[in-house]
């Protein structure tokens, strides 16, 4: 019973508008706890929350809150309620109103590829921004070959992108055993005949075969020998491994983010891993070149999105500006990474089980498990 004249906006279209800093007004009609937990954010986004069950008998209560001078998008969990509410708004003469196609579920799954830069001997590195959940994946492309790092569940996006670049995916790597999202690394490797790499110290309980991502691993992409150098960097998990790509980029996994640092508690071992985390950030990373461009596996806030959505920063700049790298006192650091942490990511224990291959939920169940923000940083309140 869709209203005539009512238009849907896809997650991809909405992403473009967020990244282009288009002024947008969002009417989110989910219940207030879901809204408070996780919502669409951006520098030029104004949003309000009015649960749909207050708008069943009519939208009079919100009409005067709907601005006439900018685009309005009605958002709900899956789509149904937003179609219901947006339809009523259109009937009331609000013709600049659309609804988010597929709701927050589609928003959570959208990936936006952004070119990070070129490699020294030809080839490029791309970042895939999962804007709704704050996850970041990477693809290194060179001379017809590709490696995908921290692959997300939506593996067809990476397959299609590699095809467009005329590249064959040869390697998929996970910097650690993820707890906030379901890895697509193994699945993508199986589809494309690639090698799947995982740090062995995170793989104690995995039930599938993998290649050991440790400091002895030699991984090249394309004929130009683009080196992917693993750097053991425990703290978020005991196996966490960073990758230096082409001597230019530091893929820091969930150890170091642009505005925060990784939390050590998602595998249940916060106290044990605090000193590892501190060593990695304050010693191991300190010995690396300050000119490396840090490419993390997550972002927590819309303010971390740079030009075109790119999330990156120079390592030297992060040593100056990132609050997680500027706690001289060890006790203060210990307190910051173990106390008053944000809530854990939704279903994080089950997600770890999936990533070990121990349970295999349906697609719909996987989607539900990944609801909400990633919350892998200590500052993701």
Partner 1 sequence: MQTKITVDTKGMACPMPIVKAKKALDNLESGQIMEVLSTDKGSVNDFQAWVKQTNHELIKHEEDNGVYKFFVRKK
Binding site for partner 1 (CB under 8 A): 31-34, 51-54, 56-57, 76-78, 80-81, 84, 368
DSSP-H helix ranges across 7-119: 11-19, 32-37, 60-63, 80-91, 103-109
Nearest approach, Cβ of 112 to partner 1 (angstroms)? 26
For 130-147, the DSSP string reads: ETTTTEEEEEEEETTEEE
The question of whether 135 is a catalytic residue gets the answer no
Residue with smaller CB distance to partner 1, 99 or 128: 99
Q: What is the C-alpha R_g of the chain?
A: 21
Residue 262's closest CA among 280, 244, 245, 249? 280
Q: Which is nearer to partner 1, 53 or 339 (CB)?
A: 53
Reading the block at residue 364, the tokens are 């719909």
How many angstroms from the chain centroid is the CA of residue 275? 26
- Candidates 352, 372, 202; CA nearest to 300 is 372
> Which two structure tokens, joined as six digits, stand for 38?
């996780």
Beta-sheet strands, E only, within 152-261:
168-173, 195-198, 211-212, 219-221, 226-232, 241-245, 249-253
* Distance between CA atoms of residues 297 and 9, nearest Å: 27
* Phi–psi pair at 324, nearest 5 degrees: -70, -20
Alpha helix locations (H) across 212-361? 270-279, 315-321, 330-338, 348-355
User: In terms of Cα–Cα distance, which of 237, 220, 260 is closest to 134?
Assistant: 260
Least separation in angstroms between CB 362 and partner 1: 13
Is the backbone of residue 97 left (phi > 0), alpha (psi -120 to 50) or beta?
beta
List the catalytic residue out of 11, 26, 73, 76: 76
CA distances from residue 232 to 200, 239, 313 in whole angstroms, order as listed: 11, 7, 20
Catalytic residues: 76
């Amino acid at each position: 019973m869709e209203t005539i004249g009512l238009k849907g906006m896809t997650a991809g279209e909405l992403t473009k508008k967020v990244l282009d800093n288009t002024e947008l007004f969002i009417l989110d009609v989910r219940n207030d706890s879901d809204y408070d937990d996780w919502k669409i954010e951006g520098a030029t986004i104004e949003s309000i929350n009015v649960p749909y069950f207050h708008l069943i008998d009519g939208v009079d209560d919100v009409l005067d809150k709907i601005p006439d001078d900018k685009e309005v998008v009605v958002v709900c969990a899956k789509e149904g309620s937003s179609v219901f509410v947006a339809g009523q708004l259109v009937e009331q003469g609000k013709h600049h109103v659309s609804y988010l196609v597929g709701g927050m579920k589609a928003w959570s799954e959208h990936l936006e590829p952004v070119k990070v830069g070129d490699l020294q001997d030809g080839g490029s590195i791309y970042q895939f921004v999962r804007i709704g959940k704050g996850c970041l994946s990477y693809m290194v492309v060179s001379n017809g070959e590709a490696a995908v790092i921290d692959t997300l569940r939506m593996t067809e996006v990476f397959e299609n992108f590699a095809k467009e670049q005329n590249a064959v995916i040869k390697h998929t790597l996970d910097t650690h055993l993820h707890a906030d999202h379901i890895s697509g690394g193994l699945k993508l490797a199986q589809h494309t005949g690639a090698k799947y790499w995982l740090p062995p110290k995170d793989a104690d309980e995995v039930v599938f075969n993998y290649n050991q991502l440790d400091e002895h691993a030699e991984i090249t992409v394309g004929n130009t020998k683009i080196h992917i150098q693993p750097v053991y960097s425990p703290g978020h998990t005991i196996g966490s491994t960073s990758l230096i790509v082409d001597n230019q980029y530091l893929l820091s996994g969930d150890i170091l983010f642009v505005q925060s640092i990784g939390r050590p508690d998602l595998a249940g071992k916060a106290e044990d891993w605090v000193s590892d985390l501190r060593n990695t950030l304050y010693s191991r990373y300190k010995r690396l070149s300050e000119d490396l461009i840090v490419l993390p596996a997550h972002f927590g806030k819309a303010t971390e999105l740079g030009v075109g959505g790119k999330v990156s920063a120079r390592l030297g700049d992060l040593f100056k500006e990132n609050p997680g790298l500027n706690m001289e006192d060890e006790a203060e650091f210990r307190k910051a990474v173990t106390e008053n942490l944000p809530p854990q990511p939704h279903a994080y224990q089950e997600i770890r089980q999936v990533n070990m291959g121990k349970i295999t939920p349906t697609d719909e169940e996987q989607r539900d498990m990944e609801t909400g923000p990633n919350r892998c940083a200590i500052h993701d309140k």
